[in-house]
Amino acid sequence: MIFVTGGAGFIGSNFVLHRLARFDEPIVVIDKLTYAGNRENLASAQHDPRLIFSHTDICDGAAIAALFAAHRPRAIVHFAAESHVDRSILGPGEFIRTNVNGSFELLEAARKYWQELAAEARAGFRFLHVSTDEVYGSLGPDDAPFSETTAYAPNSPYSASKAASDHLVRAYHHTYGLPVLTTNCSNNYGPFQFPEKLIPLILQNALDGKPLPIYGDGLNVRDWLFVLDHCRAIERVLETGRPGEVYNVGGKNEIRNIDVVTVLCAILDELRPRAEGRYADLITYVKDRPGHDRRYAIDPSKIERELDWRPEETFETGIRATVAWYLDNRGWVDRVRDGSYRDWIDRQYGERT
């Protein structure tokens, strides 16, 4: 039995479905079901007896402790987090609550549970914390990619809250001996991503004939990682990673935002051409995000060398699979884009045009 927090979210649900397809081990999904958590993401496994869903807030320490007592997991994979930089700028409080306080409650419950286990179970227990490359700050065009020893320099309320949770995880290992693992990943993309992030936002706006908003000059660089490659990396770290270690996970795909958008437009021109003109005609530059980091890049050599993990998808294959999924699942997109989401999009981008 393993716990997966945030297992109804984008990366978490992909991990749960990937795991169920490969192993017989039961999974308890712990999710508060905020705007980005969606049980429909797990619909293909809804009748699988190995999947147990708990509608629980990780900030509720008593409820988390009760889940540990009831199910007695051998590991916990902690995805649950508020994760969108723009939302953290508009409302940082929820990011502190979930990412810092929630991680603390989870660590406390795990520590107390772990300390009471028998010796063999204690030795095998793992707490895997999923984090982000944004904790390292921003790179210049000629700087070396982030490594596991790069100093933390978070620049947004989101990345600061994740940095705080990373430090808590590290502290629980060094103070209490809790067998923790941390992964810091680059930008994920793929099925089930909530359409506030760049790739699904651009896809849906393009298909709706709406402007394609590009922050600033569009030259901000990100390293792109297909979500299933990330799931495979997390699985490898969970099973063979060394307790107390950090592993950076990247796709080795440094691409400028404007180039990501033009690639999406070209694929849509091929697969779903517009009646008039090209999708790139919809590109619109908007006022930049405050404190927008210029470049992220990950050096994944440690996880490649020590755990023999490498991404299986190139950006070209991964992005085509992603576009195909969104074209085939317009109903899913329509159901997650409710009124509150539309209001938020209008607020976020309407004021920047």
Res 148 pLDDT > 70:
yes
Is residue 248 within 8 Å of residue 133, measured between CB atoms?
Answer: yes
Q: What is the mean pLDDT of residues 323-338?
A: 90
Alpha-carbon distance of 27 to 181, in angstroms, equals: 19
Under the banding of pLDDT at 50, 70 and 90, the label for residue 85 is confident
List CB contacts of 271: < 8 A, sequence separation 6 or more: 323, 324, 327
Name which residue leads in pLDDT, 346 or 333.
333
Residue 247 annotated as catalytic: no
Q: Which of residues 35 and 54 earns the better pLDDT score?
A: 54
Question: Is the pLDDT score of 289 beyond 90?
Answer: no
Of 205, 241, 210, nearest in space to 129 by CA: 241
Q: What is the largest CA-CA distance in the chain?
A: 68
For the domain spanning 2-190+224-250+295-313, the CATH number is: 3.40.50.720
pLDDT band at 348 (very low <50, low <70, confident <90, very high): low
Give me the pLDDT at residue 35, please.
82
Catalytic residue from among 105, 113, 136, 158: 158
Query: What is the phi/psi pair of residue 62, to 5°?
Result: -65, -40
Q: Is 96's pLDDT higher than 70?
A: yes
Given a cut of 90, is residue 345 above it in pLDDT? no
User: Is 353:205 a contact under the CB 8 Å cutoff?
Assistant: no
Q: Are 179 and 243 in contact (CB under 8 A)?
A: yes
Q: Is 158 a catalytic residue?
A: yes
Average pLDDT, stretch 32-43? 91
**Is the per-residue pLDDT at 349 higher than 70?**
no
Catalytic residue, from 31, 57, 105, 134: name it: 134
> Exposure string (b/e) for 46-85, b if CB count within 10 Å is 16 or more?
eeeeebbbbebbbbebebbbebbeeeebebbbbbbbbbbb
Q: What is the mean pLDDT of residues 203-216?
A: 96
Mean pLDDT of 216-235: 97
Eight-state DSSP code of residue 144: P
Q: Report H helices in the chain.
A: 10-22, 61-71, 85-90, 93-95, 103-115, 119-124, 157-176, 198-207, 227-240, 257-271, 301-307, 315-328, 330-336, 339-350
Higher pLDDT, 335 or 209: 209
Contact 239, 179 (CB under 8 A): no
Answer yes or no: are the C-beta atoms of 182 and 148 closer than 8 Å.
no
Measured over the CA atoms of residue 260, residue 262, residue 266 and residue 269, the dihedral's sign is positive
Residue 259 a catalytic site member: no
Using 50, 70 and 90 to split pLDDT, how confident is the model at 344?
A: very low
Report whether 58 contacts 30 (CB < 8 A): yes
Full 3-state SS string of 85-103? HHHHHHCCHHHHHHHHHHH
**Catalytic pick among 31, 57, 133, 166:** 133
* Element spanning 55, H or E: strand 51-55
CB 23 within 8 A of CB 76: no
> Residue 309 to residues 129, 255, 351: CA-CA distances in angstroms?
18, 22, 43
Residues 19-34 pLDDT 10s: 999 999 999 999 999 8
Taken in order 245, 250, 256, 260, the sign of the CA dihedral is: negative
pLDDT, tens digit, 9 for 90 and up, residues 250-273: 999 999 999 999 999 999 999 999
Per-residue pLDDT, averaged over 42-47, amounts to 94
Q: What is the pLDDT of residue 205?
A: 96
